[in-house]
Amino acid sequence: MLQATPLTDGWILRHEGGALPAVVPGCVHTDLLAAGLIPDPFLGRNETDLAWVGRREWTYERDLAPVNGHEQTDLVFDGLDTVAEVLLDGRLLGRTRNMHRSYRFDVTGMSGRLAVRFVSAYAEAEAVRGKLGERPAAYAEPYQYLRKMACSFGWDWGPTLVTAGIWRPVRLERWSTARIARVRPLVTVEQGVGVVELAVEVERARVEAPLTVEATVGGVRVRAALDGTSGTVRLRVPDVRLWWPRGYGEQPLYEVELTLLHEDRPLDVWRRRVGFRTVELDRSADEHGSGFTFVLNGERLFARGVNWIPDDVFPSRITRERYRKRLGQAADAGVDLVRIWGGGIYESEDFYDACDELGLLVWQDFPFACAAYPEEQPLRGEVEAEARENVVRLMPHPSLVLWNGNNENLWGFRDWGWEARLAGDSWGEGYYLGVLPRVVAESDPTRPYTAGSPWSGSWAHHPNDPAHGTHHSWEVWNRLDYAGYRDDVPRFVAEFGWQAPPAYATLARALPGEELAADSPGVLHHQKADDGNGKLRRGLERHLAFPEGDFDRWHYLMQVNQARAVAAGIEHWRSHWPVCAGTVLWQLNDCWPVTSWAAVDGDGREKPLYHELRRLYADRLLTVQERAQGLVLAAVNQAGDPWAGVLRLRRMSVDGEVLGETGVGFGTERRAVAHVDVPRELEPVGPKEFLVVDVDGLRALHFPAPDREIPYPRAEFDVTVAPGAVTVTARTLVRDLLLQADRLHPDARADRGLLTLLPGERVTIGVRGWETPDADAARSALYFLEPSR
């Protein structure tokens, strides 16, 4: 039987100045940090002082003892970052140049000093650029010239910390006769019967040995002989329970086991969990253009999505528990789709296992982002090998529903001046429209493929045409107010978002000793977007007065504006289902403490946007929309049951007076939207009035004027506290009330975000991690909109 021995201990990291203990899996930065040789790059402006790390060569070493008892011994690396030579006692075993692949070396009968010598990623990238020529990119760093996590080189939300190291597990595998080299599982459903087809490839040590495979799933067992080095086993499982995305059903998972045998003696075992479901992507043309709608088990769905970036700039630090926590936060916010963005990595099995269990659909980008990528060697062969390995590796996961060729590169070619600069040089189109769809079609025909995001389906339309396929909405934020979201109805919004700083406690930890200000050195360093603070200011001033010199108000108002911006988009787009079939927020998470578009900051704290997302992505959403005929109420029902009731509409003054009131009945089918016209006499007029609509515990508000024009009363409210709770009772209109629990204690968390209370209303906010409740402290941590000055 194959025996695997992890090689986690005994490693050292050699560098120009000597040697230090190394942790494997890990990377150079984490080893230097553990040894106290570098400061924490996440604190202050330390990042800039560590640029030298990515320019050096590094060597990992350990002893490899002799092993016996099997015919063959392999040294297996699940991931090397990135360009390396692997040597044993000075003998070259092989060279690597791809972070996204695994590597296997035959070390049968060998022992001695194992060394993995890493070349600077910069040196390799610059050498490839010198050979193949310049290619344009969104950033100046040379990430497009090698197969490495692009955001190691920095992004508009990430630090430039160019890593090197043995970033995934390494082990010795000892085996005799034969081993399982690859299993490609095709999982389908045919008229209620689950079908698992296992295409098996083996590596032999003894060519003549007769081999069989035995597979089991769901109580079904099948045995088949192998002809040479490959074969196929097909199992049919009657009456299977379907796997559904969260909110649509349960997530049953079935254990699949395949055993390789020689004369009934087991040689190797492959085990995975699978789920039975069907997935289609409806891209058919209609009167609105051409769609982009996910269909799971025959059910059409509006995808409530978030974009995912690597959760740490040093991915080897991300544990199974951390994946589960972050993805659990996504599920708790109503998310049902996570897009793994193309500037990162193919995540570990722990990520996809968590998505399988939580019912989170996974959209997987191939790792290409915001650059023209050369298609010549050595990159072309690496791209195909990497794609074939990872497609097969991830195929068992029912959560995986889409392969996507790249992030923004087709759009970049058309709109960012690349075509003229390239002058006919290769730039990646052959990957996205050739290599990658071929690999997916050959290896995983059970899932759809799309060439890029955004992509309109063909060059017949602009790549980012909102009427066709996927759309990235970045005019809003970069140039336009968030009201611009309402100007069109894309078929599927794969990226959109608005920035805000991280939680106060996150900034305070990341910038020790700094007097925080919107433009203080550390705050500006932890803002990576081009003119990010300028865009924040201009975006706020369209609605609210800018709080000059008041960091606490600035911090609060930026959180308010982020939540409102995202709400403007999602409410508008959800109200247009089924024309618009999904929104994927940029972004769920951060990889360090930074001002960004994230809903969960780099320390794992939820921003107010996160809590707003829970409302926006709930099965049922009530929203007031401006249409040509006047105000319209949209009752969005993504639940599995019809929804009917009586809407309570109130036209109110900001002083709390009810100026008009009525009840209006409505009804909507499951997975549908009902639209109800607001009676003209209840439409608010001028800055002193607003509309309130309530039904079944849901509320929608409509203020017809910008906040800077609204004469809000000075907020008056009472505060009481109890263990785990802060209760606020309003005596006036209190607009966008926010308890910043982390100001009470860095570990404290509130269970709600922004709230608007009418006079006489009361709300209790749950608080975890605050052991000594104090009413005065609670009041000091409460923020709300104040009258314009």
Active site residues: 408
Chain mean pLDDT for the chain: 97
Give pLDDT, residue 789: 58
pLDDT at 599 over 90: yes
pLDDT digit string, tens, across residues 222-253: 999 998 999 999 999 999 999 999 999 999 99
pLDDT digit string, tens, across residues 291-327: 999 999 999 999 999 999 999 999 999 999 999 999 9
CA-based nearest residue to 168, from 100, 221, 242, 249: 100
* CATH number assigned to the domain covering 177-274: 2.60.40.10
What percentage of residues in the chain have a pLDDT greater than 70?
100
Q: Which amino acid is at 721?
A: V
CA distance 713 to 731: 11
Partners of residue 648 on adjacent β-strands? 663, 694
pLDDT digit string, tens, across residues 128-167: 999 999 999 999 999 999 999 999 999 999 999 999 999 9
Give pLDDT, residue 629: 87
Q: By the 8 A CB rule, do 583 and 363 touch? A: no
Partners of residue 135 on adjacent β-strands? none
Q: What is the mean pLDDT of residues 756-761?
A: 98
Q: How confident is the model at residue 546 (pLDDT cuts 50, 70, 90)?
A: very high
| 3-172 matches 283-620 in fold | no
Q: By the 8 A CB rule, do 209 and 178 touch? A: yes
Give pLDDT, residue 787: 82
Partners of residue 476 on adjacent β-strands? 480
Give pLDDT, residue 268: 98
pLDDT at 282 over 70: yes
CA distance 748 to 22: 35
Give pLDDT, residue 122: 98
Domain ranges of the chain: 3-172, 177-274, 283-620, 621-709, 717-783
Which residue in the block uniquely carries the two structure tokens 């960012």?
A: 416
Q: Which residues lie closer than 8 Å to 84 by C-beta, 6 or more apart?
A: 95, 96, 116, 117, 118, 119
pLDDT at 667 over 80: yes
Q: What is the mean pLDDT of residues 77-82?
A: 98
Give pLDDT, residue 670: 97
CA distance 272 to 139: 39
pLDDT at 556 over 80: yes
Q: Which residues lie closer than 8 Å to 58 by C-beta, 6 or more apart?
A: 13, 14, 15, 28, 117, 118, 164, 165
pLDDT at 17 over 80: no
pTM above 0.85, yes or no: yes
Look at the domain 3-172 and name its fold. Jelly Rolls (2.60.120)
pLDDT digit string, tens, across residues 671-721: 999 999 999 999 999 999 999 999 999 999 999 999 999 999 999 999 999
Length of the chain: 789
Top-level class of domain 621-709 = mainly beta
CA-based nearest residue to 501, from 515, 485, 482, 519: 519
Joined tokens for residue 601: 């900051």
The helix/strand/coil state of 165 is: strand
CA distance 559 to 554: 9
Architecture of domain 283-620: Alpha-Beta Barrel (3.20)
Joined tokens for residue 18: 């000597």
CA distance 742 to 623: 30
Whether residue 454 is preceded by a cis peptide bond, meaning omega within 30 degrees of 0, is yes
Q: What is the mean pLDDT of residues 439-464?
A: 97
Q: In degrees rounded to 5, what are phi and psi of residue 533? A: -70, -30
